[in-house]
Structure 1
Amino acid sequence: MWVPRFSEHNQPMYLMVAQALEQDIARGVLVGGERLPTLKALAAALDVTPGTISRAYEEAQRRGLVVGEVGRGTFVSQRPAMRGDAPAAEGRLDLPSAQLDLSVIKPHGAVLESWLREALMRLAQSEDLTRSLDYAPEGGHPLHREAGAHWLRGALPEARWQQVVITAGAQHGLLVAMNGLTRSGDLILCEALCYPGIISLAHHSGRRLQGVAMDEQGILPEALRERCRQEKPALLVCVATCQNPTTAIMSEARRAEIAEIAREFDFLILDDDIYGFLAPTPLRPLASFAPERSVYLTSLSKSVAPALRIGYLHGPPETLSRLNAMVRSSVWMPSPLMAQLATQVIAEGLGTQLMAVQREEAAARQAIAAQVFQGLQVRSQPNSYHLWLTLPEPWSCDEFALLARANGVTLLSGSQFFAERSTSTRGVRIVLMSPTSRDELRFALTRLASMLASAEPRLYY
């Protein structure tokens, strides 16, 4: 039976198997028409799941290396298409996208499919499935809320399930908190460069949004205090760890100072801690410095899987009725089926394992970026999913983003993150986790670095 041999383990397993297939075909180890091992047999030989081998064969078929025949198995193509071959004159050429997407912050997907496939199978066979097929009580089922509290206690040890409100992801959690805790016309403060979802929500709900000046730790306390002297804010939305887009991490001393300003000027804090698990050293959440006036928010979409659209809000008792009312008026209830899957993932420890895997992958990719962007002005964190690149003059962020797209790389211009139009920046946000492999990431980053090294922007007009 053919079993692949790997000289190094630097890619997801399914890609390594597909690569080994391609190499063995090129060397003549495998010949056209030869039958490959069954999914079950090869999975057992490599100590992986059959789903991983299925994905490897799908990738090999996409490359033209193998063909599958229903009821018979998978066979080496009679003339496998090797890399460098000229495309056929007729027929559909199935190529990957010409764009390398470095614009969406998400966990690396290669490790997720087989793990979550098995979790879904266990859910289907679980006695708890029945609970997930009916309407949920206000705030969510107590078991689901307790799982949420358990998840939060990694950062917020005092979390109580009675104070947890389940949301349909972090973006929905932002909507629930911003609309539930403020009124139309109220002033909401955030970082001067902030997550575009905050900007969109504020504008669509009739809230006024103002940005607060920042440094390498995020919001400047003196700038926040000055804003509060000029106007009375109702809410501060803050990403204190691995801030999006700048990757800033706020020190605990500054978190305490921000909390005191909130007490002094009597406003609420929405602590968006969706990237808290990526901190190189554990930090107390901003919400823990003023728990009586803070709502803490996180979700599983960045740490476990993008499709697991379950978020958790933890607020003071006096905010819960408003938060629950906003959940009802926006989606009635988050999916109990999804909440049950999230509960299972948390209870089995799978979420903790996936977080560790993602931190390790992010660190490896940050190391690649540091090497490729050596000599450029970059802000990042050891385990962050993204980085913030300040462009040398005379580049502007918009023209660089447009030129990068023309060269096959999609990223976000810093202008996408302006809380107010008066803000200016020469920065662009580059996400490292989307490319399928580290080699693909290196290729994309090298393209960007070569653009800066070899051309002036005026040459492209």
Structure 2
Amino acid sequence: MSNSKFRDIADVIEKRIVNGDYPPNTKLPTHRILADELSTTPVTVAKAYKLLADKGQLESFVGRGTFVCGHSELNQAIQAPKDEENTYNFSLLQPCLYKNVPSLQQAYRQTAEQLTPALIGYVEDSGHESHRLSGVAWAKKYGLKGGHSGNTLLTNGAQHALSLLIETLSKPGDTIAVESLTYPGILAIASLSGRSVVGIEMDHHGACPNALENVIKSHKPTLVVLVPSHQNPTGISMPESRKRAIADVINRHKTWLVEDDIYCFLDEQPIEPIANFAPDFTFHISALSKALSPAMRCGYIKVPDNKVDLLNAHIRANIWLSSPMNYAVATVLIESGEAFRIAEAQRVTAAERQILARNTLASLNGSVSSGYHIWLPLPQQWQPERFAMEAKNRGIIVTSGSYFVTNGGTSNHVRLSLMAISSEKRLESGLQALNELMSLDVKALFPY
């Protein structure tokens, strides 16, 4: 046998990965089974697996086997601005930052003037008690009950909170249940950490309780992750009755629920979160990135009492603690009430921009969600990937609906953020350009 035989076997495996025969997080055949299939020896297969592991394509776990490494398309789905003057960026879900700068400048100056050694030193329990109490006040304003300094933990934003909870509550190879259309950041965490994902069917009120029940019975997910308010990407907000029905399923099956509630401040009137109805099984996430600034990285998790020590241990092992400086600024803003004023101003701006979009985009047919973004249906002639590509060629960045789909489904939509573009005049210009693009004859534009 040639000494390079294992390289030939590695090439075969690599082609299967590229072709989708071995999708991300798939468990590969044992050395013996693949050796028999490819007419070689288990030792040769083991060498091929090691070669691909060294290249970052495979990962082995003692007692569990070898898996295809996960991947993330998050950088394609959400693109930071590079040329704001010549580009309309509809991919970033963030507040209109120019409106928030004066308040943030003042709060950072105030915090710097009051800086003490105690503030910038190490501290236990994920952060200072005063900062955790500010998180309690923030979430309470928007309907969360039962939060206190002992069960509220600090993270480096909501994305870190999601990653932390998935890592803590599940293990590689486990299944996580999410909405059938969901935030790509959740899919990226699951893929890169070796978790499988199963989608929960949705209707006009969000994830369906019966569908959740069926998923739990059929797939036995270790945890469920839901975005109940101004859901990304659909924009759906669950009414209280739906949240109670979801909580009933969670309570009966005693399944962990991660409630990603970072858009709750966009509700005109607070709607109680699912955590209020299933407090023993729900990890409630709130954060300031969508209301104040993504750069602040202030996330709060209300944790069931019996998991506080475990989450604190993971936070300490992972990052020790989130930046007290950012939380000191957040505390200044929350205690003064300025954070809530900023959040309300952003909610009003979002509502105004939703009306602008409804009046500009013909395909909305007068029906839009509230919140920061729109789940825009495309004319039948367009496919979302081709539309996103052609829009980018014209200086317009949108997010293809394909990045949000679970269970191998499809969606002929693109997601549009209405807030990252600084002025209403420029936003309207970008929306008009999108409207023109949607009306074009695709066959004439792409005759091949």
Q: TM-score per shorter chain, which class?
A: 0.7 to 0.9
Gaps of 5+ in 2: 1-82
Counterpart CA distance in 1 for 2:413 and 2:268 is 23
Query: Do residues 418 (structure 1) and 397 (structure 2) align?
Result: no
Equivalent in the alignment of 2:416: 430
- Is residue 102–residue 430 contact of structure 1 (8 Å, CA) maintained in 2? yes
Counterpart CA distance in 2 for 1:129 and 1:112 is 26
Query: Do residues 293 (structure 1) and 281 (structure 2) align?
Result: yes
Counterpart CA distance in 2 for 1:457 and 1:174 is 42
- Is residue 363–residue 378 contact of structure 2 (8 Å, CA) maintained in 1? no
SS in 2 for 1:291: coil
Q: How far apart are 1:377 and its partner, in Å?
A: 5.1
- For residue 381 of structure 2, the aligned residue among 372, 383, 394 is 394
Counterpart CA distance in 2 for 1:177 and 1:458 is 49
Q: How far apart are 1:375 and its partner, in Å?
A: 4.7
Q: How far apart are 1:157 and its partner, in Å?
A: 3.1
- For residue 148 of structure 1, the aligned residue among 117, 132, 135 is 135
Q: How far apart are 1:100 and its partner, in Å?
A: 0.9
- For the aligned residue pairs, the C-alpha RMSD in angstroms reads 1.6
Amino acid at match of 2:170: T
Count of equivalent residues = 364
C-alpha distance 318-96 of structure 1, shift in aligned 2 (>3 A): closer
C-alpha distance 415-458 of structure 1, shift in aligned 2 (>3 A): farther
- For residue 328 of structure 2, the aligned residue among 340, 344, 366 is 340
Query: Do residues 305 (structure 1) and 305 (structure 2) align?
Result: no
Equivalent in the alignment of 1:28: none
Q: How far apart are 1:129 and its partner, in Å?
A: 3.7
- For residue 201 of structure 2, the aligned residue among 213, 216, 219 is 213
- Is residue 167–residue 310 contact of structure 1 (8 Å, CA) maintained in 2? yes
SS in 2 for 1:307: helix
Equivalent in the alignment of 1:187: 175
Residues 213-266 of structure 1, C-alpha deviations (whole Å, 9 max, x = no match): 111211112221111221211111000010000001112111111111112222
- For residue 254 of structure 1, the aligned residue among 227, 242, 245 is 242
Amino acid at match of 2:397: T
Equivalent in the alignment of 1:316: 304
C-alpha distance 375-336 of structure 1, shift in aligned 2 (>3 A): closer
Stretch deviating more after TM superposition (236-245 or 183-192): 183-192
Q: How far apart are 1:135 and its partner, in Å?
A: 1.0
- For residue 371 of structure 1, the aligned residue among 348, 355, 359 is 359
- Is residue 212–residue 220 contact of structure 1 (8 Å, CA) maintained in 2? yes
Counterpart CA distance in 2 for 1:142 and 1:375 is 49
SS in 1 for 2:98: coil
Counterpart CA distance in 2 for 1:378 and 1:208 is 37
- Is residue 190–residue 197 contact of structure 2 (8 Å, CA) maintained in 1? yes
Identity of aligned residues (%): 33
Q: How far apart are 1:441 and its partner, in Å?
A: 0.3
TM-score (norm 2): 0.78
Counterpart CA distance in 1 for 2:206 and 2:154 is 28
Counterpart CA distance in 1 for 2:139 and 2:364 is 37
Q: How far apart are 1:379 and its partner, in Å?
A: 5.7
Equivalent in the alignment of 1:38: none
Amino acid at match of 1:304: L
State how 1:97-108 maps to structure 2 within 5 Å: 97-108=85-96
Gaps of 5+ in 1: 1-94
Equivalent in the alignment of 1:3: none
- For residue 282 of structure 1, the aligned residue among 267, 270, 282 is 270
- Is residue 126–residue 316 contact of structure 2 (8 Å, CA) maintained in 1? no
Equivalent in the alignment of 2:18: none
- For residue 449 of structure 1, the aligned residue among 425, 435, 445 is 435
Residues 313-353 of structure 1, C-alpha deviations (whole Å, 9 max, x = no match): 00111111221122123222111111111111111111111
Q: How far apart are 1:378 and its partner, in Å?
A: 7.2
- For residue 176 of structure 1, the aligned residue among 126, 148, 164 is 164
Residues 20-58 of structure 1, C-alpha deviations (whole Å, 9 max, x = no match): xxxxxxxxxxxxxxxxxxxxxxxxxxxxxxxxxxxxxxx
